[in-house]
């Protein structure tokens, strides 16, 4: 058998949830193009599609929205846990701890009600912790607001602008699911042991916490802040490329052409920020970097990925940098739940082989 580091190219599961076509730049959620979903549908509709396999009618949508709204409330034990955690504990570690403590006796197989609970409460956990660290009064969820709008509201206490909601809704839709990535694979491996949904999502959060998985938007912000002006862009990028350093927000392990998520997010964000100097800088950096990457790495087909415009979107809606990866997690949790539910429906424990490379017995 061939050894493939990182299991690259190995098919580990069959799924009805999504198709990631890196050669042609297409991402499909259950037969729907993700970029079109982001432009036309709300997050709750896409969650329903992922969990139940079809688009909801109005009655089904309202029922799901009501259940998500009811599940936003923080359990008392989660509040106590967060209040006792060290202030310097990073947000992803806080989230991991809270999710693992949500239900005293979770069972197998996982349920849609558990998926609703996890998806609904993560934004509340993030908002409570963020405001607590900044000595701000906790903002209770507003059941009149949809999922994404309520998240922005709980962070600030102000009803969010419609344009901000539209940008963040597009982001949540585009990042809700993306095939067998490291965190999703982690969730399915844990679920395959017939462990519970809360354990599976906790493990996925641990994988997302790694900088190679969920930390890229922060790196993009740092890059753009260092560049500062359009005039400095090419010199700065050339220095990085000459030193063989990675340009954050460019290239993807799967996509060998334009990342469809980046294109959709750019279009939606541009409607909010087209005249913003920071967004103009981002567009200039994108164009310059793609030109230079072709010069320095011809044939590698390195294009803008979703993290680049995630950073632009977060900047446009004034999302704090400490919440970048946690917000990614808030959207992706819906996809993890979908995968665990699917795994439970036709389960077989993951048990790959390893190749021994140590010394022979004496």
Assigned domain for 49 exists = yes
**Is-cis flag, bond preceding 109, omega within 30?**
yes
- Asked if 33 and 100 sit in the same domain, the reply is yes
CATH of the domain at 332: 1.10.580.10
Assigned domain for 181 exists = yes
- Asked if 90 and 59 sit in the same domain, the reply is yes
Kindly state the average pLDDT of the residues 45-74.
98
Predicted local distance difference test score (pLDDT) of residue 300: 86
Assigned domain for 178 exists = yes
Active-site residue, from 114, 177, 286, 307? 307
Assigned domain for 296 exists = yes
- Asked if 81 and 151 sit in the same domain, the reply is yes
- Asked if 126 and 232 sit in the same domain, the reply is no
- Asked if 42 and 58 sit in the same domain, the reply is yes
- Asked if 29 and 167 sit in the same domain, the reply is yes
Assigned domain for 359 exists = no
- Joined together, the tokens standing for residue 311 give 């950073």
More reliable by pLDDT, 180 or 315: 180
Give 260-289 pLDDT, tens digit per residue.
898 999 988 888 787 788 888 989 999 999
Q: Residue 58 pLDDT more than 90?
A: yes
The number of domains in the chain is: 2
Predicted local distance difference test score (pLDDT) of residue 315: 87
Predicted local distance difference test score (pLDDT) of residue 249: 87
Domain holding 195, by residue range, is 18-213+321-345
Kindly state the average pLDDT of the residues 206-228.
87
d(CA 164, CA 327): 14
- Asked if 170 and 247 sit in the same domain, the reply is no
Give 190-200 pLDDT, tens digit per residue.
999 999 999 99
147 in active site:
no
- Asked if 172 and 236 sit in the same domain, the reply is no
- Asked if 100 and 237 sit in the same domain, the reply is no
Residue 21 host element (H or E) = strand 18-21
- Asked if 241 and 300 sit in the same domain, the reply is yes
Confidence of residue 92 (pLDDT cuts 50, 70, 90): very high
Question: Shortest CA distance to 36 belongs to which of 49, 51, 23, 22?
Answer: 49
23 in active site:
no
Alpha-carbon distances, residue 55 vs 32, 72, 117 (angstroms): 10, 23, 21
Confidence of residue 213 (pLDDT cuts 50, 70, 90): confident
Residues pairing with 28 in the sheet? 19, 33
Residues pairing with 19 in the sheet? 28
Neighbouring CB atoms inside 10 A of 342's CB total 20
d(CA 199, CA 120): 17
Assigned domain for 360 exists = no
Kindly state the average pLDDT of the residues 199-228.
90
How far, rounded to the nearest angstrom, does the alpha carbon of residue 362 sit from its chain's CA centroid?
A: 49
Predicted local distance difference test score (pLDDT) of residue 279: 84
Assigned domain for 111 exists = yes
Alpha-carbon distances, residue 32 vs 55, 174, 178, 336 (angstroms): 10, 12, 13, 18
Question: Who contacts 139 (Cβ-Cβ below 8 Å, separation ≥6)?
Answer: 127, 131, 153, 154, 155, 156, 157
- Joined together, the tokens standing for residue 46 give 């896409």
Instruction: Assess contact for 4 and 354: CB atoms under 8 A.
Output: no
Predicted local distance difference test score (pLDDT) of residue 152: 98
Assigned domain for 168 exists = yes
- Residues of the chain with pLDDT > 90, as a percent, come to 76
CATH of the domain at 234: 1.10.230.10
pTM of this prediction? 0.93
- Asked if 189 and 283 sit in the same domain, the reply is no
Question: Shortest CA distance to 126 belongs to which of 104, 102, 149, 154?
Answer: 154
Give 114-171 pLDDT, tens digit per residue.
999 999 999 999 999 999 999 999 999 999 999 999 999 999 999 999 999 999 999 9
Tell me, what DSSP letter sits at residue 215? -
Active-site residue, from 252, 270, 286, 339? 252
- Asked if 65 and 104 sit in the same domain, the reply is yes
């Amino acid at each position: 058998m061939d050894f493939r580091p990182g299991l690259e190219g190995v098919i580990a599961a069959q799924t009805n949830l999504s198709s990631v076509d890196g050669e042609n730049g297409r991402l499909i959620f259950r037969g729907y193009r993700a970029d079109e979903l982001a432009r036309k549908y709300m997050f709750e509709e896409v969650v329903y599609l992922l969990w139940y396999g079809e688009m909801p009618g109005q009655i089904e949508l309202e029922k799901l929205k009501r259940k998500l709204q009811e599940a936003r409330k923080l359990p008392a034990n989660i509040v106590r846990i967060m209040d006792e955690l060290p202030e310097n504990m990073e947000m992803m570690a806080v989230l991991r701890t809270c999710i693992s403590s949500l239900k005293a006796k979770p069972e197998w197989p996982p349920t849609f009600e558990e998926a609703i609970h996890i998806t609904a409460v993560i934004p509340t956990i993030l908002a409570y912790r963020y405001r607590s660290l900044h000595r701000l009064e906790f903002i209770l969820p507003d059941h009149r607001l949809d999922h994404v709008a309520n998240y922005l509201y709980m962070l600030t206490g102000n009803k969010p602008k419609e344009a901000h909601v539209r940008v963040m809704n597009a982001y949540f839709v585009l990042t809700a699911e993306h095939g067998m990535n490291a965190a999703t694979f982690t969730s399915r491996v844990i679920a395959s042991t017939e462990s519970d949904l809360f354990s599976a999502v906790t493990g996925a959060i641990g994988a997302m916490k790694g900088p190679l998985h969920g930390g890229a938007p922060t790196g993009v912000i740092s890059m753009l802040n260092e560049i500062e002006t359009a005039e400095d862009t090419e010199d700065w990028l050339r220095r990085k490329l000459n030193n063989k350093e990675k340009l954050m927000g460019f290239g993807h392990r799967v996509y060998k052409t334009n990342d469809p998520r980046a294109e959709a997010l750019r279009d939606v964000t541009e409607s909010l920020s087209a005249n913003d100097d920071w967004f103009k800088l981002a567009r200039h950096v994108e164009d310059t970097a793609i030109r230079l990457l072709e010069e320095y790495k011809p044939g590698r087909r390195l294009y803008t990925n979703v993290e680049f415009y995630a950073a632009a979107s977060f900047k446009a809606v004034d999302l704090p940098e400490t919440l970048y990866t946690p917000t990614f997690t808030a959207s992706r949790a819906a996809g993890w739940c979908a995968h665990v539910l699917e795994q439970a429906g036709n389960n077989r424990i993951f048990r790959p082989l390893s190749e021994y490379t140590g010394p022979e017995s004496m």
